[in-house]
Amino acid sequence: MITLRDVCKAYGQFQVLSHCSTHVAKGEVVVVCGPSGSGKSTLIKTVNGLEPVNAGEIIIDGVSVTARGTNLSTLRARVGMVFQHFELFPHLSIIQNLMLAQVKVLKRTRPQAHKKGMALLDRVGLVAQAHKFPGQLSGGQQQRVAIARALAMDPVALLFDEPTSALDPEMINEVLDVMIELAREGMTMMVVTHEMGFARKVANRVIFMDRGEIVEDAEKNAFFDQPRSERAQQFLSKILVH
């Protein structure tokens, strides 16, 4: 579904990503972790072309993201993305947030888009908030809306960029629950997160990054039980102590 081959990116002299390659199969859940500054957020943003790359190739569902002449807008409409800071549109009500791209990009009629939006809000338990504005919702609620907004486009895969790191602790679970449910339904997901509990529960594979490189790309249990690299061992020992 998602293939990265030798992806490289540099800001001037600083190499953000060097020779990153991986593959996410349909229905697979891959968790990307690593210390801050390791390039994991940049990596996930290259997948739908939000961050341009200097070299390498990225292919989603048979379409190249990196090839010249690819219509990135069309491609992005098929890949959902959830951001650390939610990025709902503050001037639109919750239901309007869910309808905007359906109407403008997918050319659905307003009643169709409204119906789909309400169904998704029901799914994330926020129907009652449909006519409120993002600023009137809690962080956890906003992130659930953001997931629903991504789902409204009927994406072939979902990308998550640290979806719970801007949330208060008591709101993390309500977002993770939605993500776990999606994973169990067979959604293809690539998730940058520090939530190792989430990784243990639903991930198929874990990618560990450090200094712009994919250091480890392993099956979940293999990663947690016997990380091969020293850097991954250190990282795990630091975040799993508590």
Partner 1 sequence: MSYNWNWSIFFEPSLDGTHTYLTTLLWGAGWTLATAFAAFAIALSLGSVVGVARTAPQAWVRALSTCFVEVLRNVPLLVQMFLWYFVLPELLPDELGTWLKQLPDAQFYTAVVCLGCYHAARMAEVVRAGLQSLPGGQRMAGQALGLNLAQTYRYVLLPMAYRIVVPAITSEFLSCTKNTSVALAIGLMELTGSARAMQENSFQIFEAFSAATTLYLALNLIIIFAMRRVERLAVVPGYGTPQKAA
Q: How far is the CB of 37 from partner 1 (least distance, A)?
A: 18
Instruction: Select from 26, 91, 228, 238 the one that contacts partner 1 (CB under 8 A).
Output: 91
Task: Decide if residue 45 touches partner 1 (CB under 8 A).
Answer: yes
How many residues contact partner 1, by CB under 8 A?
A: 34
Task: Decide if residue 138 touches partner 1 (CB under 8 A).
Answer: no
- What's CA 164's distance to the chain center, in Å? 11
**Where does this chain touch partner 1 (CB under 8 A) — which range of 128-136, 174-182, 188-196, 209-217?**
128-136
Give the H or E element holding residue 44: helix 40-47
Q: Is 84 helix (H, G, I), strand (E, B) or coil?
A: coil
Q: In 135-204, which ranges are E strands?
A: 157-161, 188-192
* 83 versus 198: smaller Cβ distance to partner 1: 83
* 89 versus 181: smaller Cβ distance to partner 1: 89
Instruction: Report which DSSP code applies to 89.
Output: -
Instruction: Select from 134, 140, 212, 227 the one that contacts partner 1 (CB under 8 A).
Output: 134
Give the H or E element holding residue 202: helix 196-202
Instruction: Select from 114, 144, 149, 231 the one that contacts partner 1 (CB under 8 A).
Output: 149
Q: How many beta carbons lie within 10 A of that of residue 27, not counting itself?
A: 14
**Where does this chain touch partner 1 (CB under 8 A) — which range of 3-11, 24-32, 129-137, 219-227?**
129-137
Task: Decide if residue 110 touches partner 1 (CB under 8 A).
Answer: no
Q: Report CA torsion sign: 194, 195, 199, 200.
A: positive
Instruction: Select from 89, 109, 154, 186 the one that contacts partner 1 (CB under 8 A).
Output: 89
- What's CA 37's distance to the chain center, in Å? 17
* 84 versus 204: smaller Cβ distance to partner 1: 84
**Where does this chain touch partner 1 (CB under 8 A) — which range of 23-31, 88-96, 114-122, 233-241?**
88-96
Place of tokens 């709101």: 171
Task: Decide if residue 139 touches partner 1 (CB under 8 A).
Answer: no
Q: Report CA torsion sign: 182, 192, 206, 12.
A: positive
Instruction: Select from 77, 151, 191, 232 the one that contacts partner 1 (CB under 8 A).
Output: 77
Rounded to whole angstroms, how far apart are CA atoms 213 and 121? 38
Rounded to whole angstroms, how far apart are CA atoms 62 and 82? 22
**Where does this chain touch partner 1 (CB under 8 A) — which range of 3-11, 54-62, 71-79, 119-127?**
71-79
Closest CA to 215 of 24, 12, 29, 43: 43
Rounded to whole angstroms, how far apart are CA atoms 140 and 188? 22
- Positions that interact with partner 1 (CB under 8 A): 45, 48, 50, 72-74, 76-81, 83-85, 87-91, 100-101, 104-106, 132-137, 149-150, 153
